[in-house]
Structure 1
Amino acid sequence: MAELAKRWDIAPPSLLGPLGLSAETLAPPDARLPIVDFVRLVERARELTREQALGFYLGVEMRASAHGYVGLAAMTASTLGEALDLAQRFAVTRTDALSLHMERSTGEAALVVEEHADFGDARDVVLFALLYGIWQIGNALTGKKLEGSADFQMPEPAYFARFAHLAPAVRFNQPSNRLRFDDRLLSLPLLMADPVAKRMAREQCERLLEELASSEDMAVRTKKLISRSDGGVRSLEEVARMMHMSTRTLKRRLAEAGASFSALRDEEQQEAAMRLLERDDLPIERIAEQLGYSDVANFTRAFRRWTAQTPAAYRKSKVSG
Structure 2
Amino acid sequence: MNSKLIAIADANAPQSIIGISLLVKLLQNNGHQADQMLAKANIAAQLLSDPNATISFQQEVVFTRELVNTLLDKELGFKAGQYYRLNAYGLIGLAAGLSETVNDAIVFFLKYIRLSHIHFDINFFKKDGNAILRFSDQFELGDLRRFYLERDFSFAFLSTRDMFPRSIIGQKPKTIHFDFPCPTSVEHYQSLYECIVHFSMPYNEILCDERYLDLQLPLASALTRELLEEQCKIKEITLFGHENFAGKIRQNIQAVENEIPSLEVIAKMHFLTARTMRRKLKQQGITFQQLVNEELNKKALHYLLTTSLSIEQISIRLGYSESASFINAFKRWTGKTPKACR
TM-score (norm 2): 0.64
1:4 Cα deviation from its structure 2 partner: 0.6
User: Which aligned runs of 4 or more in structure 1 are off by greater than 6 angstroms?
Assistant: 220-223
Q: 1:135 aligns with which of 150, 157, 161?
A: 157
* Residue deviations 1:60-99 (CA, integer Å, cap 9, x gap): 2221011111101111112211111101111123368433
**Seq. identity, %:** 20
Secondary structure, counterpart of 1:46 in structure 2: helix
For structure 1, which segment, 89-98 or 135-144, has the greater mean C-alpha deviation from structure 2 after superposition? 89-98
Runs of 5+ in structure 2 lacking a partner?
A: 1-22, 258-264, 297-322, 336-342
Cα 1:170/1:46, change in 2 over 3 Å: same
1:118 Cα deviation from its structure 2 partner: 1.0
Q: 2:206 aligns with which of 179, 189, 197?
A: 179
For the pair 1:165 / 2:191, whether they are aligned, the reply is yes
Partner of 2:75: 53
Q: Where in structure 2 are the equivalents of 1:7-26 lying within 5 Å? A: 7-26=29-48
Matches of 1:112 and 1:221 in 2, distance apart? 25
Structure having the higher helix fraction is 1
Q: 2:176 aligns with which of 130, 137, 150?
A: 150
Partner of 2:319: none
For structure 1, which segment, 74-83 or 10-19, has the greater mean C-alpha deviation from structure 2 after superposition? 10-19
Secondary structure, counterpart of 2:112 in structure 1: helix
For the pair 1:195 / 2:222, whether they are aligned, the reply is yes
Amino acid at match of 1:55: G
1:122 Cα deviation from its structure 2 partner: 0.8
Runs of 5+ in structure 1 lacking a partner?
A: 226-235, 241-246, 270-292, 304-310, 312-321
Secondary structure, counterpart of 1:21 in structure 2: coil
1:30 Cα deviation from its structure 2 partner: 4.1
Whether the 8 Å CA contact 1:53–1:159 is kept in 2: the answer is no
1:49 Cα deviation from its structure 2 partner: 1.4
Cα 1:257/1:68, change in 2 over 3 Å: farther
Q: 2:92 aligns with which of 70, 77, 95?
A: 70
For the pair 1:111 / 2:133, whether they are aligned, the reply is yes
RMSD value over aligned CA atoms?
Answer: 4.1
Whether the 8 Å CA contact 2:189–2:197 is kept in 1: the answer is no
Matches of 1:107 and 1:79 in 2, distance apart? 18
Q: 1:237 aligns with which of 250, 254, 257?
A: 254
Whether the 8 Å CA contact 2:120–2:137 is kept in 1: the answer is yes
Cα 1:200/1:216, change in 2 over 3 Å: closer
For the pair 1:93 / 2:115, whether they are aligned, the reply is yes
Amino acid at match of 2:254: E
Partner of 2:17: none
Aligned residues: 267
1:214 Cα deviation from its structure 2 partner: 4.0
Matches of 2:199 and 2:249 in 1, distance apart? 29
Whether the 8 Å CA contact 1:222–1:239 is kept in 2: the answer is no
Whether the 8 Å CA contact 1:19–1:40 is kept in 2: the answer is yes
Secondary structure, counterpart of 2:122 in structure 1: strand
Matches of 1:109 and 1:206 in 2, distance apart? 27
Secondary structure, counterpart of 1:144 in structure 2: coil
1:11 Cα deviation from its structure 2 partner: 1.4
1:35 Cα deviation from its structure 2 partner: 3.2
Whether the 8 Å CA contact 1:219–1:257 is kept in 2: the answer is yes
Cα 1:53/1:302, change in 2 over 3 Å: same
Amino acid at match of 2:235: L
Matches of 1:33 and 1:58 in 2, distance apart? 19
Partner of 2:12: none
1:124 Cα deviation from its structure 2 partner: 0.9
